[in-house]
Chain A
Amino acid sequence: MYRYDELDQAFVDERVAEFREQTRRHLAGELSEDEFRPLRLRNGLYIQRHAPMLRIAIPYGLLSSRQLRKLGDIARRYDRGYGHFTTRQNLQLNWPHLAAVPDILAELASVQMHAIQTSGNCVRNVTADHLAGIAPEEIDDPRPYCELIRQWATLHPEFTYLPRKFKIAVTGSPEDRAASEVHDIGLHLTRDAEGALGFTVLVGGGLGRAPMIGQVIREFLPLSELLAYLEAILRVYNLHGRRDNLNKARIKVLVKSLGIERMREEVEAEWRASRESAPRLRAEDVERVREYFRPQPYAPLEDLDVSSGREAAFLAWYRYNTRAHRVRGYRAVFVSLKAHGANPGDMTSEQMEGLAALAERSSFGLIRATHNQNLLLADVPQRQLYAVWQELKRLDLAMPNIGTLTDMIACPGLDFCSLANAGTLGVAQQIQQRFADLDYLYDLGDIEIKMSGCMNACGHHHVGHIGILGVDKHGEEWYQISLGGSANGFTALGEVIGPSVAQSEVAPTIERIVETYRLLRVDGERFIETLRRVGLTPFRERAYAAHPQAA
């Protein structure tokens, strides 16, 4: 993984010192809350319902065991012994004390981490495919480019006060596992006719209010132009994005109002006009960073039959929670943060420390956070799989439900977030209880539930096969259900099926929906395939059948 050089380390250290002084000024009354807000946000610090919330950046989801151990240690000493992994591969602490935040940031800097630009109207953490570098069909590893973008975007003098937040995702495989089409900018690694590497550039995707799918602004961008082209897009957005209405300030609204052709003209004109002054990615810049992402020193191993003579529980885990690896004799192992009875994405300090030790023994000391709020040990020798499973079970991280209905995404919701209209965690538990039977879950197969507690869509409900959106109705928590969304490969936005339902009715409604699928599916169709074939109507009819409480 990338390691800080003297510049990177000096920068984060200087940043901590700056924020320590800003926090001091705030606590001394020299900076009002309004004045402090944009400064603290750019250091990852929100003021939430109960306490501050600190969002720690995990650039493109990659962690060393030392870093994960430090996160566990920070969560124990400065918080309540757990953290929450988000869909953008970050970690949130829910209960830090404001005055202690500079110390937390200094602890992070000691392991080459930070919380810079994880909130505020600036370029946020750059996300990537969690199978980067090991996916068999990959064109190129996206992480070196994520790291270069991270550096370029860090305290960018021109783009630190944008109209609104700005999210970039990079993917290097044909299958989009980073939801790049619902990002402000999506970058797809590709090769041109001569075999040279470059990017297809998408712009204007986003969820939240008025969800939109990104459109191609440039089919092929040479590597060396990456930062120059990003600057051109950001500059057009910075100058012309709306600032009069927070809900219309994302770049997707600008792209929609100009149209993609006009947007392209503006960006390309800006790009051409900035040739002398925009940063160029020199080959040596790229090479320096690529060096850090070379393949691991894999042992020469053979593929094994790991299943013979093993118990059914291990076989289920193997089938659902592990994936093929590019290198013979290895497997990628999902660490499920979706244990039934736990909040999706939550992890305790003990689990973090236990997993850090396991990663050192069995996966080159590296851990990845995924877009689906799970973790991944990317490079596990097949001969260690059984021992890894036993240790994950001991840590309560082996729930064999990856890709199933209970592997759902949920934002923290009303229990923590001051923006939320409704709770998500109680609903998640309700769903987990209703679908606790693993055989039933496996029979249902690949179904993605994504749940958000408000329109801001941190839980990506628009792109869930089943989307759940919490809404406030006269002070009560109700839930709108949508069907048919997807963020993998074929990006689609779900359609709301009808009136929202009361909290107690969410799980029963979902059960009626998936029962409809069981009734209508043919030839091993997945849920989303049946839905696309037969349309929404039969699902809608049954979802509300015998429904006492629709409003």
Chain B
Amino acid sequence: MRHILRRREIVADDWRHLGEEAAEGSGLIVPLSEFKRDPARWRVWPGRLGVRLTVVDRVAELADELPRLALVAVEFPTVGDGRGYSQGRILRERLHFRGELRAVGTGVRQDQAFLLARCGFDVLELAPGEDPEAVRRAFARYDVAYQPGAAQVPLRRQRFFA
């Protein structure tokens, strides 16, 4: 059973990626490419559905589907590949996505947790081997920020506002 951090709490994952074994009642996350192959099928999917974006997927393609989606997963294939931070902010701030925004991949680690939260990610599916307790503590490294951002982490002070 995989554990994730949902709004800074360590919980058992109740979602599975396409190809993973189905557990009772789990939601299904399908890649955008898969979704686009047969949109009609996925639009009437009976369970909870999420879509997973790669670093090169254009977020705007998903705009019309968002009301039907309970989750969007964004890939961070390495620590150094920061495209997902932009994708996350666009989903939250421009497209007003209110479902779960999940960061996935080997780039999702404790030293990135604060940044991910500020960009609107409320669920972290951690890189293999990453200690969830350490990640949970990492959110508290900063209690101030200069930029406007998502309210996932409580801040004492912030400088610039939207």
Contacts and interface: CB of A to CB of B under 8 A. Distances in A.
B115 A155 contact: yes
B146 A155 contact: yes
Contacts of A22: 111
A158 B162 contact: no
Interface in B133-162: 141-149, 156-157, 159-162
B15 to A, nearest CB: 24
A274 B94 contact: yes
Given A14-B143, A22-B111, A157-B115, A278 B79 contact: no
Contacts of B82: 158-162, 238
Contacts of B162: 276-280
Interface stretch (A3-11, A97-105, A167-175): A3-11
A10 B119 contact: no
A341 B107 CA distance: 48
Contacts of A6: 157
A161 B81 contact: yes
A551 to B, nearest CB: 39
B86 A161 contact: no
A279 B161 contact: yes
Contacts of A274: 93-94
B94 A161 contact: no
A235 interface: yes
Nearest to A241: B83
B86 A239 contact: yes
B119 A158 contact: yes
A12 to B, nearest CB: 10
A152 B141 contact: no
Q: In which size bucket is the chain B interface?
A: 20 to 34
A258 B131 CA distance: 42
Interface string B112-143: 00111011000000000000000000000111
B97 interface: no
Contact of A238 (B80, B86, B116): B86
B101 to A, nearest CB: 13
A152 B161 CA distance: 11
A332 B162 CA distance: 40
B89 interface: yes
A315 interface: no
A285 B158 CA distance: 12
A151 B79 contact: no
A35 B79 contact: yes
A39 B111 contact: yes
A162 B84 CA distance: 11
B80 to A, nearest CB: 6
Contact of B144 (A10, A35, A39, A152): A10
Interface string A158-191: 1111100000000000000000000000000000
Nearest to B119: A157
Interface string A260-303: 00000000000001101111111001000000000000000000
Contact of B86 (A227, A235, A277): A235
B111 A156 contact: no
A106 to B, nearest CB: 16
B89 A152 contact: no
Interface string B63-77: 000000000000000
In this complex, which of A151, A157, A235 has the most chain B Cβ atoms within 10 angstroms of its Cβ? A157
B157 A227 contact: no
A14 B144 contact: yes
A122 to B, nearest CB: 9
Nearest to A160: B115
A18 B141 contact: yes
Contacts of A282: 161
A503 interface: no
A157 B80 contact: no
A243 B81 contact: yes
B93 A276 contact: yes
Contact of B79 (A38, A155, A227): A38
Interface string A6-36: 1100110010011000100000000000010
Interface in A117-161: 121, 151-152, 154-161
A14 B143 CA distance: 8
Given A7-B159, A155-B146, A277 B94 contact: yes
B160 A238 contact: no
Contact of A14 (B81, B115, B141): B141
A330 B162 CA distance: 42
Given A39-B111, A280-B161, A157 B85 contact: yes
Given A238-B86, A280-B161, A280-B162, A154 B111 contact: no
B148 A158 contact: no
Nearest to A158: B85
Contacts of B142: 11, 14, 18, 155
B80 A38 contact: yes
A159 B157 CA distance: 20
A17 B157 CA distance: 18
Nearest to B146: A151
Nearest to A156: B147
B151 to A, nearest CB: 13
Contacts of B161: 279-280, 282
A26 to B, nearest CB: 11
A274 B60 CA distance: 13
5 closest A-B pairs by CB: A161-B82, A157-B118, A277-B93, A279-B160, A157-B115
8 contacts: A7-B146, A10-B143, A10-B157, A14-B141, A14-B142, A152-B159, A155-B145, A238-B83
Interface of A: 6-7, 10-11, 14, 17-18, 22, 35, 38-39, 121, 151-152, 154-162, 227, 235, 238-239, 243, 273-274, 276-282, 285
Given A155-B145, A243-B83, 11 more contacts: A7-B159, A17-B141, A39-B111, A151-B159, A157-B147, A158-B85, A160-B85, A243-B81, A277-B94, A277-B148, A279-B162
